[in-house]
Structure 1
Amino acid sequence: MQGLPDKQSVKKLHVLITSRMFSASRNKKDDLFKYKLACEELSKFINEVNFESKIAKKSVELRENGNDYFKKNELDKAFEMYTMSMAYAPTKSVELSMAYANRSAVLFKANWFADCLVDIEHALELDYPENLKAKLFLRKANCLQAICPKRRGPINEALDETRQWMKKMDKKNQLAIEQLLKKQKTTKTTTEKTVCYKFDADVVPEKLKSENPALPGLSSAVELQYSKKYGRHLIATRDIKPSEVLAVQEPYINIVKQDLRYKYCWHCVKQTWSNIPCDDCAEVIYCSASCRDKAKLAYHDVECYVLSRILASGIISNFIFPLRIAIKALKEANNSFDILEQNRLKVDAEKDPLTKGFIDGKFDPQKFSSVYSLSHNPHTDKNFEILCLAGSSITAYFLAKKIPAFEKSLKDEKLLKTDDKFISLIGFIDKIVSITRNNLLQVQAPDKYEDIKDTSSAVVIPFSFMNHSCIKMVTFKRQSEKLVLTAVCPIEKGEQIFDNYMSQFFIHTKKQRVEMLSHSNFICDCEACIKDWPTYTDSLNPFLVNTLKPDLREVFHLIMNSTFVMYETVCKNNEIMLFKKEINKVAKVVENYYSLFGANSSDSVTALKLLMMAVFMSQRHFVHLK
């Protein structure tokens, strides 16, 4: 293994560690023994792997793929290929300028003119070929004319630049540009379609009526309690009405789904079009230089190095979550592994299960002690356990290269084998894997073509205090970089506030719910399970709308019609549909029906679903270019 120069060596290392750990597992060895086995294999891997994150050849290949999609008018795929080409292009290279320029053509065709202008400027700031600049300046003029045709000054400047750079083109292309210039002069607007803008659902943010002083970001309508049966859980301190905001919380970590890494900003986790790459790796993109700088300061200066290597190893992408948490914990400990270990031991030593992780009487959702205090269960699947241990070992190995305390050990095979701190680091990563597995929240966005799009995975610490019930009581949505928790049914004072993890009584039968929850070794004893409530899978069937009660039929049409208009608003203009009136109207129906018929009625379930839909729709949507 020693000295292998490419990414294949990392994959081989993963296979070797996994194989040895499976053998140790069959011999019933404990975790510490397995960690030491991992150290033995890692010690053979002392030499650095030669990683080239920025590869010009790869960038060109991706750009050519984008060209093929663009010719077929598959704008979303073309956009993704050009963005990946940008990510792989060496810094300040011709390849980078070409990726920006080609992507600007996609944005222009999709009528995203403001973003198109940004990409054009990025391309022109770099070493963009002179014989192609006339095309870019003409595109710039067309964008400016589409956005504000009355501002002739900037438009004429772009047209003058077009004529100037035409001289660098061959005769054939000069004639083509001349024809386009004549057409541009006689056309009042460059497109018959409406100019597209980014929809911003965060203009009027949700706010808490009052905040719980011990639980920042949570409403004073809830408090934290503890019992042996439920662990830490949230209780209503007063009666709560449907649609009331219970939390406005920034996640401790929020990480973009792997298939959206080239469509969402790695830091603020917002969909982005005129994005920019990381200067050092090809794995992520940012919506702006500001987000790139914030990410680098907070975690990506370390993460950048490790991320490429763990992704190349073939281990599951879930290790990005413990990696981010470990880096944030190290930053909080002033990059000292010894201080980090002290912080861990302090949390582990706390006796009171209710206040575990508290600092000065508060549960700070942005502190490592809070996330480290969350509940976690040991792996129940042995095969998955071994894969996690192997992944933890590789993640720890590359992370250690960025921690001064391991500098000597990583240069000496014998030292690494016996380094107790390194063994402790592997165990630390492995524990965070368990914590994130238990506490990850899937963040979703409305999608016109797929209904729901999984966009990111987050750890929102206070949300982890809600236990499962098949009777849903809350829902959440994105608001800028925070998540908003909203009640969707009446909650009485003293009642525990439950969320729904996977099984809902009105969708799944009791038998189905038992099967779904068995994978988590969980037996639900909610009222729906004990009394075996019926399902209501047809409650939003439009063909049955005339069978609904008049007030329910009214809000059904209101929400369905607003949902359709909402998608058009997102795609074509920037009119703010706050959805607040619609949410309040359906919330009153929910409250009334729960009072009259309880949670277990077809009408109550229909009203509940409509309220959940309204809250979900009142956030940023996933937007397609096509």
Structure 2
Amino acid sequence: MCEKSDENRCNLTNILMQLRRHLSVNHNVAALSQRFGALNSNLERVNFVEELIKSAEITIELQKDVKNDEIATKYREKGNEMYKKRKLKEAWEFYTKSVCFAEENSPNLGLAYANRSAVLFELNLHKQCLKDIKRALNHNYPEHLKSKLFVREKNSKNTAIEETCPHEAIPIVTNNNPNIQSASACIAVREEENWGRFVVATRDIKVGEVLAVEKPLVTLVVNELSNHCHECVSLCYNLIPCKTCTQAMYCSESCRDYAFDMYHKYECSILATLRFLQFDKLKLFALKISLQYNDLGETSDLLYRSDRYREIHNLVTNTTKRSVPDLFERATAAALIYDLVKTHTNFFSAFNQNNFKEILLLHMQTGPSNFHEIVELVPNSRGIYEPEEIASGAFAFLSLLNHSCCPNVARFSYGSTLVLRAIQNIQEGEQCFDNYGYHFALMDKSERKKHLQSQYYFNCVCQACEKNWPLFDSLPSFNSHEIEDSVFLKLSSGDVETAVTVAGDLCTKLGELQKLQPCKDFCQLQEIVKQCFVVMGNKRKIF
């Protein structure tokens, strides 16, 4: 059995510690480490760790995850307390948990839907309120309470308005690239030994231009209790639960049914255990991909596609650059997941076990270097919008962009779709550079290089690093532009009209300022331009 930790938790970290203790007592650790490091395939690595886990007699106890009316009732009662105090966010959270835990055919599910509809009514989410009322009536809602629910239904119908999309219309690529499904013809993919695959401009590109619009092949919502669909990532305040587990919620029956048929029927029984073991999002993401894609398939199509697994499979893994402890930790996670899938699902009645091990460990390596955040602006207590990660996505094309500490492109989230725009003028033949989270104005050179080497295994040679550009506070300022305070305030408050109105002019000014960089003026204006496009993307009106 997995031993209890000091925190009384059995998790991946403690399992690794237990495994190392076993090896230090019973084996020559140095010799085993050397043997593991000499392995050439992901299958060999997972099999190697499997044998060690068996010899250490480490087993994982499945965490029971079943619907429970008693728990559902407690959550609903807590929701009632919050509702009486007018704490609508907290009430919504408890009612949603009650929906999640209520047994499928019990009145508790109807009661949870009905109570959540009251919060939605208060928040003027009348369309969603009506859906929850309908669900309550379809799930054994008590007869003696229906009259009150009918009144709410009538009031909602009288005041219901069309639901608004949480983002503006998704930009489109105006001149499609014949070789890249999601990209404009203004860019192309090249490959060189020192750079790997990378993206270059095929003509001069202006600030603000759309270079690519890409949908992810697979997504993973990062929070367990979320107001986003676990399948399509759409913002939704009246999610419905998986009929069997308490780990996944969906915006509609169609998303729920699709997810179950594609992959959730396999992960459903083990997700609670994986989260109990504190598996991070990248390991859960690797599982989700591996449950859906087990075959590269035959193709003669030379188009680089965003909707095909082959492109995701062939993303860089950095295997040869990873340390033995890094690969061992990932192989251990893969072995534990494999055992749970084998023991508690029927997945391998249809799919090859060895292929699953290979792909699972593969994507535990591709994920950290390639997958991207999907973000949403969320209002804080002062009404200022701040970005929050809502999901991760596997984007085949966007993963080809190299890093720069002074990037010339940036990604913006529209639903689960990412839009790539130029945030500098880019000359024909110049490489398009994204930023992996380490900007020269915010982090000094040594720190940036350390982080980039640690996660991405390269030594950055961008302009900012080569010329050792200073941090923002030490940059020169030319006072070359003035932005009214009201524009700052409106953009930080999520005002789309302001963003649309000023974006074009600010992009032109940014292009003119480019010759002065590095300077405060360019950095400040670039952030404002980025904020304009962020505001047009995902934005939550309420909690």
The structure-2 alpha-carbon separation of the partners of 1:134 and 1:39, relative to structure 1 and needing over 3 Å to count, comes to: farther
Q: CA deviation at 1:61?
A: 2.3
In 1, Cα distance between the equivalents of 2:272 and 2:63? 11
Alignment of 1:503-542 (within 5 A): 503-520=438-455, 521-537=457-473
In 2, Cα distance between the equivalents of 1:12 and 1:475? 36
- For the 8 Å contact 1:467–1:498, the answer to whether it is kept is yes
In 2, Cα distance between the equivalents of 1:443 and 1:538? 32
In 2, Cα distance between the equivalents of 1:464 and 1:42? 37
Residue 610 (structure 1) aligned with residue 528 (structure 2) = yes
Q: CA deviation at 1:598?
A: 3.6
In 2, Cα distance between the equivalents of 1:610 and 1:481? 23
Match of residue 272, structure 1, among 224, 236, 242? 236
The structure-2 alpha-carbon separation of the partners of 1:538 and 1:61, relative to structure 1 and needing over 3 Å to count, comes to: farther
Indicate the residue corresponding to 1:362 in structure 2. Answer: 303
Residue 391 (structure 1) aligned with residue 333 (structure 2) = yes
- For the 8 Å contact 2:401–2:433, the answer to whether it is kept is yes
Residue 585 (structure 1) aligned with residue 533 (structure 2) = no
The structure-2 alpha-carbon separation of the partners of 1:513 and 1:71, relative to structure 1 and needing over 3 Å to count, comes to: same
Alignment of 1:212-227 (within 5 A): 212-227=177-192
Please give the secondary structure, in 2, of the residue aligned with 1:103.
helix
In 1, Cα distance between the equivalents of 2:267 and 2:338? 12
- For the 8 Å contact 2:12–2:333, the answer to whether it is kept is no
Match of residue 412, structure 2, among 467, 477, 480? 477
Indicate the residue corresponding to 1:441 in structure 2. Answer: 372
Match of residue 200, structure 2, among 191, 215, 235? 235
Counterpart AA for 1:586 = L
Please give the secondary structure, in 2, of the residue aligned with 1:243.
coil
Q: Deviations over 1:85-108 (max 9, x none)?
A: 111212132111111111112212
In 2, Cα distance between the equivalents of 1:528 and 1:48? 50
Match of residue 144, structure 2, among 131, 136, 148? 131
Indicate the residue corresponding to 1:553 in structure 2. Answer: 482
In 2, Cα distance between the equivalents of 1:288 and 1:498? 38
Please give the secondary structure, in 2, of the residue aligned with 1:456.
strand
Q: CA deviation at 1:224?
A: 0.7
- For the 8 Å contact 1:505–1:534, the answer to whether it is kept is yes
Indicate the residue corresponding to 1:141 in structure 2. Answer: 154
- The runs of at least 4 aligned residues of structure 1 exceeding 6 Å deviation read 42-48
Indicate the residue corresponding to 1:64 in structure 2. Answer: 77
Residue 374 (structure 1) aligned with residue 294 (structure 2) = no
Counterpart AA for 2:422 = A
Counterpart AA for 1:101 = A
Indicate the residue corresponding to 1:413 in structure 2. Answer: none
Counterpart AA for 1:616 = V
List runs of 5+ in structure 1 lacking aligned partners: 3-9, 149-195, 334-339, 347-357, 408-420, 568-575
Residue 456 (structure 1) aligned with residue 469 (structure 2) = no
In 2, Cα distance between the equivalents of 1:75 and 1:233? 48
Alignment of 1:297-312 (within 5 A): 297-312=261-276
Using the TM superposition, name which of 78-87 and 557-566 deviates more.
557-566
The structure-2 alpha-carbon separation of the partners of 1:383 and 1:624, relative to structure 1 and needing over 3 Å to count, comes to: farther
The structure-2 alpha-carbon separation of the partners of 1:515 and 1:559, relative to structure 1 and needing over 3 Å to count, comes to: farther
Please give the secondary structure, in 1, of the residue aligned with 2:458.
coil
Q: CA deviation at 1:459?
A: 1.6
Q: CA deviation at 1:578?
A: 8.7
- For the 8 Å contact 1:262–1:284, the answer to whether it is kept is no
Counterpart AA for 2:167 = A
Q: CA RMSD in A?
A: 3.3
Match of residue 563, structure 1, among 491, 497, 506? 491
In 2, Cα distance between the equivalents of 1:473 and 1:71? 51
- For the 8 Å contact 2:263–2:288, the answer to whether it is kept is yes
- For the 8 Å contact 1:473–1:497, the answer to whether it is kept is yes
Indicate the residue corresponding to 1:292 in structure 2. Answer: 256
Counterpart AA for 2:411 = F
The structure-2 alpha-carbon separation of the partners of 1:537 and 1:297, relative to structure 1 and needing over 3 Å to count, comes to: farther
- For the 8 Å contact 2:111–2:141, the answer to whether it is kept is yes
Indicate the residue corresponding to 2:103 in structure 1. Answer: 90
In 1, Cα distance between the equivalents of 2:12 and 2:440? 46
Alignment of 1:174-193 (within 5 A): none
In 1, Cα distance between the equivalents of 2:440 and 2:493? 30
Q: CA deviation at 1:51?
A: 3.5
Match of residue 324, structure 1, among 281, 288, 308? 288
Q: Deviations over 1:104-149 (max 9, x none)?
A: 122122222222222111111111122222221222233234348x
Q: CA deviation at 1:83?
A: 0.9
Q: CA deviation at 1:258?
A: 2.0
Residue 122 (structure 1) aligned with residue 87 (structure 2) = no
Please give the secondary structure, in 1, of the residue aligned with 2:86.
coil
In 2, Cα distance between the equivalents of 1:510 and 1:48? 46
List runs of 5+ in structure 2 lacking aligned partners: 3-8
Please give the secondary structure, in 2, of the residue aligned with 1:54.
coil
Indicate the residue corresponding to 1:104 in structure 2. Answer: 117
Q: Deviations over 1:294-344 (max 9, x none)?
A: 3234332333344334234443343221111112213xx4xxxxxx6xx6x
In 2, Cα distance between the equivalents of 1:301 and 1:146? 39
Please give the secondary structure, in 2, of the residue aligned with 1:566.
coil
- For the 8 Å contact 2:403–2:436, the answer to whether it is kept is yes
Please give the secondary structure, in 1, of the residue aligned with 2:412.
strand
The size of the alignment, in residue pairs, is 515
Using the TM superposition, name which of 301-310 and 120-129 deviates more.
301-310
In 2, Cα distance between the equivalents of 1:403 and 1:439? 27
Q: CA deviation at 1:588?
A: 0.8
- For the 8 Å contact 1:447–1:621, the answer to whether it is kept is yes
In 2, Cα distance between the equivalents of 1:296 and 1:565? 38
Counterpart AA for 2:347 = I
Counterpart AA for 1:271 = L
Q: CA deviation at 1:436?
A: 0.9
Match of residue 211, structure 2, among 246, 269, 279? 246
- For the 8 Å contact 1:223–1:236, the answer to whether it is kept is yes
Q: CA deviation at 1:385?
A: 4.0
- For the 8 Å contact 1:566–1:577, the answer to whether it is kept is no
TM-score by length of 2: 0.85
Match of residue 432, structure 2, among 485, 497, 500? 497
Using the TM superposition, name which of 124-133 and 371-380 deviates more.
371-380
Please give the secondary structure, in 2, of the residue aligned with 1:268.
coil
Q: CA deviation at 1:398?
A: 3.2
Q: CA deviation at 1:431?
A: 1.8
- For the 8 Å contact 2:221–2:230, the answer to whether it is kept is yes
Q: CA deviation at 1:15?
A: 5.7
Counterpart AA for 2:460 = C
Counterpart AA for 1:201 = H
Q: CA deviation at 1:240?
A: 0.5
In 2, Cα distance between the equivalents of 1:237 and 1:296? 43
- For the 8 Å contact 2:46–2:335, the answer to whether it is kept is no
Counterpart AA for 1:535 = L
Indicate the residue corresponding to 1:7 in structure 2. Answer: none
In 2, Cα distance between the equivalents of 1:296 and 1:578? 42
In 2, Cα distance between the equivalents of 1:316 and 1:591? 40
The structure-2 alpha-carbon separation of the partners of 1:381 and 1:451, relative to structure 1 and needing over 3 Å to count, comes to: farther
In 1, Cα distance between the equivalents of 2:132 and 2:529? 40
In 1, Cα distance between the equivalents of 2:440 and 2:153? 55
The structure-2 alpha-carbon separation of the partners of 1:599 and 1:124, relative to structure 1 and needing over 3 Å to count, comes to: same
